[in-house]
């Protein structure tokens, strides 16, 4: 049966106290609405309609994509009114309603819900709550069949005693939806057009209301303020940590580890505390990551080691390569197998061959460094003249003396050497020593100045 998804995301989110629309507040580095859209996509619906209102321009700009239909709800007159804005665009046999501020809903839960909806059945996702205050209540008859949803504010004391709450998520037969929405009224305590009123209409039309529950109540938890947002974040991170541990990663402390993106891992990976993985990160078998590292959009090949306090962005470490502590690898940094980058070394768009080393305090930008070459402490590639960037090329087995300044564009052949403190402005042929510094003079009998008495 065909499927379309409507995501409600027009509300203001006053309690966030923010200039940013509520649904753009991130969980794990991605807007809440982005999580919901991604879950909807996994159901492969024929359409995804996002109802926007408050901060509509910002939402559209942040999340625009080919497969999304943004529908404007100018005034927020209730959840029923919100869905009604999308109704003219709907044509599928089944319509699923989701919420832009309920980001942790699991695709598996939605699939179970969708199995229960057809022409004769409406499917509701409900949740048993210790304290259902504020939630719509699921009203069942003596036989246990769902008759209606009553909003908390409209409920009688007996109805308020019901612990089964409405999550808001439901799936309805598409053919009927338009008719029901057009018959909604706002004569209730809140003066809103309630989507929940379609349940009683479905029952009156002879449909049966099926229910399904999430495996975990956090799946249907919304974020109305920053406290709830933080709770969702922690829950997401717990889930991510458990998944990685199940795949063979040792996390020194799963509570001090954050994933903000897509991570794939091999077995026997060791991750110390306070590590943040962002974007697409590929970690192969046997990799070790020390404490306090940020690793974004990077690939760590088998047995690579990232030592404490390193920051990687768009980098690749070859098999058995290592970096840090305090290494900074910027986009385009590639370390060959067993290459080594030590403390306070910054790389940008720099490729180091197999076994090449830069042990201490260097900037290597727009550079190629051949296999087994050794970069002395304090070496700088002067890649920028204030207007343009230029390249530095080093062959294999090159030895750069400490504190050399390599003024690009410049090339050094295989086996070339530079004397410490050299400013290298000309190409250095293979197997040649370049010394580009003032010659040392020793001045005999020189006296240090003495303090003048006043």
- The residue with tokens 């210790």 is 130
State residue 362 phi and psi, 5-degree precision. Answer: -135, 155
The residue (of 86 and 335) whose beta carbon lies closer to ligand UD1 is: 86
What is the closest distance, in whole angstroms, from the C-beta atom of residue 57 to ligand UD1 in the complex?
Answer: 16
Q: Which residues are annotated as a binding site for acetyl-CoA?
A: 377, 383-384, 402, 420, 437
Among residues 277, 243, 250, 249, which one has the least CA distance to residue 262?
277
Q: Please state, in angstroms and as integers, the Cα–Cα distance from residue 86 to each residue in 8, 232, 410, following that order.
A: 10, 28, 61
Among residues 247, 24, 306, which one has the least CA distance to residue 263?
247
The residue (of 196 and 298) whose beta carbon lies closer to ligand UD1 is: 196
The residue (of 149 and 281) whose beta carbon lies closer to ligand UD1 is: 149
What is the closest distance, in whole angstroms, from the C-beta atom of residue 81 to ligand UD1 in the complex?
Answer: 5
What is the closest distance, in whole angstroms, from the C-beta atom of residue 240 to ligand UD1 in the complex?
Answer: 24
Q: Sign of the C-alpha dihedral, residues 249, 252, 254, 259? A: negative
Interaction site with ligand UD1 (CB under 6 A)? 8-11, 51, 73, 76-79, 81-82, 99-101, 135-136, 149, 151, 165-168, 194-196, 222
For the question of residue 235 being annotated catalytic, the response is no
Q: Which residues are annotated as a binding site for UDP-N-acetyl-alpha-D-glucosamine?
A: 8-11, 22, 73, 78-79, 99-101, 136, 151, 166, 224, 330, 348, 363, 374
The residue (of 152 and 302) whose beta carbon lies closer to ligand UD1 is: 152
Strand, helix or coil at 333?
A: strand
The residue (of 220 and 335) whose beta carbon lies closer to ligand UD1 is: 220
What is the closest distance, in whole angstroms, from the C-beta atom of residue 163 to ligand UD1 in the complex?
Answer: 12
For 133, the enclosing helix (H) or strand (E) is none
Contact residues for 362 (Cβ-Cβ < 8 A; gap 6+): 344, 345, 346, 375, 377, 378, 379, 380
**Joined tokens for residue 133:** 């205050």
Distance (Å, whole) CA 310 – CA 225: 33
Q: Please state, in angstroms and as integers, the Cα–Cα distance from residue 278 to each residue in 61, 251, 283, 343, 360, following that order.
A: 22, 16, 12, 22, 26
Q: How far apart are the first and last CA of the chain?
A: 99
Catalytic residue among 54, 152, 235, 360: 360
Length of the chain: 454
What is the closest distance, in whole angstroms, from the C-beta atom of residue 97 to ligand UD1 in the complex?
Answer: 9
What is the closest distance, in whole angstroms, from the C-beta atom of residue 145 to ligand UD1 in the complex?
Answer: 18
State residue 187 phi and psi, 5-degree precision. Answer: -85, 80
Q: Which residues are annotated as a binding site?
A: 8-11, 22, 73, 78-79, 99-101, 136, 151, 166, 224, 330, 348, 363, 374, 377, 383-384, 402, 420, 437
Q: Which residues are annotated as a binding site for Mg(2+)?
A: 101, 224
The residue (of 150 and 358) whose beta carbon lies closer to ligand UD1 is: 150
What is the closest distance, in whole angstroms, from the C-beta atom of residue 142 to ligand UD1 in the complex?
Answer: 23
Among residues 259, 214, 251, 269, which one has the least CA distance to residue 233?
259
Distance (Å, whole) CA 230 – CA 86: 31
**Joined tokens for residue 323:** 């970096």
Among residues 321, 318, 413, 315, which one has the least CA distance to residue 364?
315
The residue (of 188 and 274) whose beta carbon lies closer to ligand UD1 is: 188
β-strands 374-375, 357-369 pairing: parallel
Among residues 235, 218, 199, 192, which one has the least CA distance to residue 10?
192
Residues labelled catalytic: 360
């Amino acid at each position: 049966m065909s499927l379309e998804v409507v995501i409600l995301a027009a509300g203001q989110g006053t309690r966030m106290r923010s200039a940013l629309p509520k649904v753009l507040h991130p969980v794990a580095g991605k807007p809440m609405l982005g999580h919901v859209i991604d879950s909807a996509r996994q159901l492969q619906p024929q359409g995804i309609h996002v109802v926007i209102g408050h901060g509509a321009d910002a939402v559209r700009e942040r999340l625009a994509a080919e497969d999304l239909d943004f529908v404007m709800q100018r005034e927020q007159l209730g959840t029923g009114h919100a869905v009604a804005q999308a109704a003219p665009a709907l044509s599928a046999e089944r319509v699923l309603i989701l919420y832009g501020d309920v980001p942790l809903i699991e695709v598996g839960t939605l699939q179970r819900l969708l199995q229960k909806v057809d022409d004769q059945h409406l499917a509701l996702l409900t949740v048993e709550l210790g304290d259902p205050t504020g939630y719509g209540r699921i009203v069942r008859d003596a036989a246990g069949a769902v008759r209606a949803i009553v909003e908390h504010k409209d409920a009688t004391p007996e109805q308020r005693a019901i612990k089964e709450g409405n999550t808001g998520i439901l799936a309805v037969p598409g053919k009927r939806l338009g008719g029901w929405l057009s018959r909604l009224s706002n004569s209730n305590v809140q003066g809103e057009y309630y989507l929940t009123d379609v349940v009683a209409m479905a029952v009156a039309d002879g449909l049966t209301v099926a229910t399904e529950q999430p495996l975990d109540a956090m799946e249907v938890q919304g974020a109305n303020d920053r406290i709830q947002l933080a709770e969702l974040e922690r829950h997401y991170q717990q889930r991510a940590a458990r998944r990685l541990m199940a795949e063979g990663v040792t996390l020194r402390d799963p509570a001090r580890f954050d994933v903000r993106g897509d991570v794939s891992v091999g077995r026997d990976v060791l991750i110390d505390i306070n590590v943040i993985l962002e974007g697409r990160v590929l970690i192969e078998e046997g990799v070790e990551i020390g404490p306090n590292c940020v690793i974004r959009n990077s690939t760590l090949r088998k047995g690579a080691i990232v030592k404490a306090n390193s920051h990687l962005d768009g980098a690749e470490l070859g098999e058995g390569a290592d970096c840090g502590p305090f290494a900074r690898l910027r986009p385009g940094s590639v370390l060959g197998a067993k290459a080594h980058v030590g403390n306070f070394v910054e790389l940008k768009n720099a490729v180091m061959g197999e076994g090449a080393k830069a042990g201490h305090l260097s900037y290597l930008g727009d550079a190629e460094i051949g296999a087994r070459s050794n970069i002395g402490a304090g070496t700088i590639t002067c890649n920028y003249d204030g207007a343009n960037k230029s390249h530095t090329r080093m062959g294999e087995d090159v030895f750069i003396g400490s504190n050399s300044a390599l003024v690009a564009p410049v090339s050094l052949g295989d086996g070339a050497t530079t004397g410490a403190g050299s400013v290298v402005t000309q190409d250095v042929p293979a197997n040649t020593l370049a010394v580009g510094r003032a010659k040392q003079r020793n001045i005999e009998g020189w006296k240090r100045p003495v303090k003048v008495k006043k």
